[in-house]
Amino acid sequence: MTVTIKDVAKKSGVAPSTVSRVIADSPSISQATKEKVRKVMHELNYFPNANAQGLASNRSKTIGVILPLASDAFYQNPFFPTVLRGINFGMSKVDYSILLSSGQTNEQRLNHIKKIVHGKKVEGLIFLYASKNDPLLDFALSTNIPTVVVGTPDKLKVHVVDNDNETIGKQATDYLIQKGCQNIAYIGGDMDQFFIKDRLKGYQIALEENNRTYKEDYIYNDFAFLSTDGYQLIKNEIDLSLYDGFVIADELVANGIQQALLEKKITQIRTITFKPFQQALYHSNMGESYINLHTRLLGSRAVSILFDSIENDNKGEQRYIREYVDGELVVMPEF
Amino acid sequence: MTVTIKDVAKKSGVAPSTVSRVIADSPSISQATKEKVRKVMHELNYFPNANAQGLASNRSKTIGVILPLASDAFYQNPFFPTVLRGINFGMSKVDYSILLSSGQTNEQRLNHIKKIVHGKKVEGLIFLYASKNDPLLDFALSTNIPTVVVGTPDKLKVHVVDNDNETIGKQATDYLIQKGCQNIAYIGGDMDQFFIKDRLKGYQIALEENNRTYKEDYIYNDFAFLSTDGYQLIKNEIDLSLYDGFVIADELVANGIQQALLEKKITQIRTITFKPFQQALYHSNMGESYINLHTRLLGSRAVSILFDSIENDNKGEQRYIREYVDGELVVMPEF
DNA sequence: TTTTTTAATGCAAGCGGTTTCGTTAATTTC
DNA sequence: GAAATTAACGAAACCGCTTGCATTAAAAAA
């Protein structure tokens, strides 16, 4: 029924091995036969069976992308589709497919990742999050499968691509200072996420460099990553008279905050946050300036690092790459 | 190096075929040997090679999820991660993996889908969008691979899961009418998207049922799906004095509009829009009421329909399912 | 011209499973 | 107790491709 390599071989009058070599574009096949065989492949509408290829060559031509637990609030973040786009973009050169991790519970997720890496379904892994003591990452590292994580995990022996969160946090804070803000609060989130901590560090450095005193109670950290959290914070919890500036570590939270401020008709507080890309789409992006995180770049860089790692396999001793992409201040017109 | 079925067979003192059958949990193997073999599999940390399985059984245990062109504005919509979650959810029972389509151009996308379906990498397909004259969908249908599309395409011979957009549009409009709005505009978007048209139809029906006249120039349709579009519309293009209600077909556009209205301090216009799920996260969801689209359900329903189709293969004549999930009015407290 | 290289292709053994069919031993039936 | 089933498992072919090695013809060197 389905056309195989033998059919192509027969019709082109060559051996199956020759066909296989023209598939791989091997240099040891003459241009003439290549063309002849390719013509037949096209006539017969032949496509190589990926499973057979994978079995014979021990390469699946697909990489696994590991998402966080679906119930995690963080999952909702525009960050994810954006990195995914970057990954897609980076892969357009290399003829690989993307396998998405799945599972509703952490146990399911762990089982699934075991199955796909031991079962040779994937040649490499990209983690789209970094959290503490992640059993999935532990597993990945224990198998030596090429892995890169987008974000900064609590492990050293792995490739990493992340925003330069400290610098970015400083950059944002500097902007507010330069705009004349005197009392700047830092609205963070889950302190188990390293980027929250790092941006806070940048905030702190900016204050110090400008001879401002860093105050513990100017830091707000006890909530998740939802816009409702930001909204609630403003509406109920925070003493707004204290501040004239907010550095908000997460875009969703910032959305909630900005809406709450608008509703309360508060204009003396300037805010700044971080968005996945220029012209962030989840918000009208008219009002406030922000830092563009180049999130798509995160994805495409992760891909190239991963492929370097896949190609170079175990030649020479392993070196781990840490790549930090910078942010870009996008200043909005005042209204 | 890697442990194979033979190693397991040898150590358990049975034939490879027996091991294969315990993997498949075949009823023709005694409970005793099953347990014995499973114990060995565990000891040896054995995982079946997915490529070998796929080759031998002609089943890859993975489904393909087809995304729209990445450059498409529509891609940015919170809709996608949400359906994806639903798909993930639906798959947690069935031990399959998800392969994501890729490609930066439509040509690349077409090549990739050809490769994965002809190459037997996937057993079924879920389209996450429906657009006119889609060559990818045409291809899928030409191969008879089980396929379901989330959204309503211009084809009949395919399984479909979608929102009941007409009813939803009516529901939204009814709400505004009931709230006393007299002059309701419909803010749509790309009319090539069927859901825009269908929600418009619902809007129209609601007006008629309430003896309102439907006016062409109350319909705004010439823009994409970005919040900036909504923002611009309000700031520059529309005569706000004409209206006291907006039915907004897309959430992102609604965000832009709502922010613009807030900035302009306009309060006499009531808006309603549609969101992927309850407590939409891309917006503080405090202000305006909306229709919850149950988008996650769309994904999980798509999965079950797909698996029904995969299982039943070609038994009996093919019937095509069209499933429409309803919306739910979520009324927000007025502030 | 003869010998040595090189270029181009074929042969056949895997890769690691699944599955049909056959075999053997244990049960059941009469 | 012999014949007929049935239950449980093994042997081996096969899935479609890759790749090391052998082979042959052509080109280069001698």
Identify which of B80, B121, B256 has the shortest CB distance to residue A50. Answer: B121
Tokens of B214: 């439907």
Tokens of A169: 């946090």
pLDDT for the residue A174: 95
User: Minimal Cα distance from B119: which residue of A?
Assistant: A49
| Region B257-273 average pLDDT | 83
Render B258-310 in DSSP notation, one character per residue: HHHHHHTT--S-EEEEEESSSS-SSS---SS-EEE--HHHHHHHHHHHHHHHH
pLDDT for the residue B201: 95
User: Do residue A70 and residue B47 have CB atoms under 8 angstroms apart?
Assistant: no
Is residue B246 a contact partner of residue B270, using CB atoms and an 8 Å limit? Answer: yes
Q: Which residue has the tokens 């909530």?
A: A223
pLDDT for the residue B280: 45
CA of B114, C1' of D26: distance in angstroms: 40
Identify which of B49, B65, B255 has the shortest CB distance to residue A283. Answer: B255
Q: What is residue B170's DSSP assignment?
A: H
CB atoms near residue A154 (< 10 Å): 12
Q: Which residue has the tokens 């090429």?
A: A146
The answer to whether residue B113 scores a pLDDT higher than 90 is yes
**Strand D proximal to A53 Cβ, under 7 A:** yes
**Residue A91: its H or E element:** helix A79-91
User: What's at A143, amino acid-wise?
Assistant: T
**What are the chain A neighbours of B227 within 8 Å (beta carbons)?**
281-285
Is residue A265 a contact partner of residue A259, using CB atoms and an 8 Å limit? Answer: no
Tokens of B182: 């007299």
| Chain A to chain B Cβ contacts (< 8 Å) | 204
**What are the chain A neighbours of B259 within 8 Å (beta carbons)?**
259, 262, 283-284, 286-287
pLDDT for the residue A284: 46
**What are the chain A neighbours of B226 within 8 Å (beta carbons)?**
279, 281
pLDDT for the residue B286: 54
CA distance B151 to chain A (A): 19
Closest CA to D10 C1' — which residue?
Answer: B15
**What are the chain A neighbours of B85 within 8 Å (beta carbons)?**
70, 75
**Strand C proximal to A266 Cβ, under 7 A:** no
Which residue, among B253, B288, B252, B291, has the nearest Cα to B269 in the 3D structure?
A: B288
**Strand C proximal to B16 Cβ, under 7 A:** yes
Q: How confident is the model at residue B238 (pLDDT cuts 50, 70, 90)?
A: confident
User: Do residue B121 and residue A51 have CB atoms under 8 angstroms apart?
Assistant: yes
Q: CA B116 to CA B272: how far, in whole Å?
A: 41
Identify which of A47, A60, A100 has the shortest CB distance to residue B100. Answer: A100
User: Do residue B76 and residue A230 have CB atoms under 8 angstroms apart?
Assistant: no
pLDDT for the residue A158: 95
CA distance B257 to chain A (A): 8
Distances (CA, A) of B80 to A224, B76, B110, B191: 22, 8, 20, 20
CA of A60, C1' of D13: distance in angstroms: 26
pTM for the predicted model, two decimal places? 0.91
CA of B83, C1' of C19: distance in angstroms: 38
Hey, which residues does B272 pair with through a beta bridge? Answer: B247
pLDDT for the residue B248: 92
**Strand D proximal to B54 Cβ, under 7 A:** no
**What are the chain B neighbours of A287 within 8 Å (beta carbons)?**
259, 263
CA of B46, C1' of C22: distance in angstroms: 29
User: Do residue A286 and residue B263 have CB atoms under 8 angstroms apart?
Assistant: yes
Which residue, among B261, B288, B260, B283, has the nearest Cα to B272 in the 3D structure?
A: B288
Which residue, among A269, A291, A286, has the nearest Cα to A334 in the 3D structure?
A: A286
pLDDT for the residue B264: 78
Q: How confident is the model at residue B227 (pLDDT cuts 50, 70, 90)?
A: low
Render A221-282 in DSSP notation, one character per residue: --S-S-HHHHHHIIIII--GGG-SEEEES-HHHHHHHHHHHHHTT--S-EEEEEESSSS-SS
Is residue A234 a contact partner of residue A257, using CB atoms and an 8 Å limit? Answer: yes
User: Do residue A121 and residue B89 have CB atoms under 8 angstroms apart?
Assistant: no
Dihedral, A41, A44, A49, A50 alpha carbons, nearest 10: 60
Identify which of B65, B108, B284 has the shortest CB distance to residue A259. Answer: B284
**Strand D proximal to A24 Cβ, under 7 A:** yes
Per-residue pLDDT of chain A (335 residues; tens, 9 = 90+): 689 999 999 999 999 999 999 999 999 899 999 999 999 999 999 999 999 999 999 999 999 999 988 766 556 677 888 899 899 999 987 889 999 998 889 999 999 999 999 999 999 999 998 888 999 999 999 999 999 999 999 999 999 999 999 999 999 999 999 999 999 999 988 777 888 999 999 999 999 999 998 888 898 887 666 666 677 677 667 788 888 999 999 887 887 788 788 777 788 889 999 988 765 444 444 567 889 999 999 999 999 999 999 987 655 567 899 999 999 998 877 65
Laid out side by side, the sheet with B328-330 consists of B219-220, B184-187, B245-248, B270-275, B290-292, B328-330
User: Minimal Cα distance from B100: which residue of A?
Assistant: A98
- pLDDT per position as a tens digit, B125-159: 999 988 889 999 999 999 999 999 999 999 999 99
pLDDT for the residue B320: 93
Positions 19-58 in B, CB within 7 angstroms of strand C: 19-21, 23-24, 46, 48-49, 52-53, 55-57
Positions 224-263 in A, CB within 7 angstroms of strand D: none
Residues of chain B with pLDDT > 70, as a percent, come to 90
- pLDDT per position as a tens digit, B176-201: 999 989 999 999 887 778 889 999 99
Identify which of B47, B99, B231 has the shortest CB distance to residue A115. Answer: B47
Residue B83's φ and ψ, nearest 5 degrees, are -60, -40
* Between B237 and A194, the higher pLDDT residue: A194
pLDDT for the residue A266: 82
User: Minimal Cα distance from A256: which residue of B?
Assistant: B284
**Strand C proximal to A57 Cβ, under 7 A:** no
User: Minimal Cα distance from A2: which residue of B?
Assistant: B118
Render A306-334 in DSSP notation, one character per residue: HHHHHHHTTSSS----EEEE--EEEPPPP
**What are the chain A neighbours of B111 within 8 Å (beta carbons)?**
none
User: Do residue A60 and residue B52 have CB atoms under 8 angstroms apart?
Assistant: no
**Residue A19: its H or E element:** helix A16-23
pLDDT for the residue A120: 95
- Give CA angle at A65 (A144, A169), nearest 5°: 95
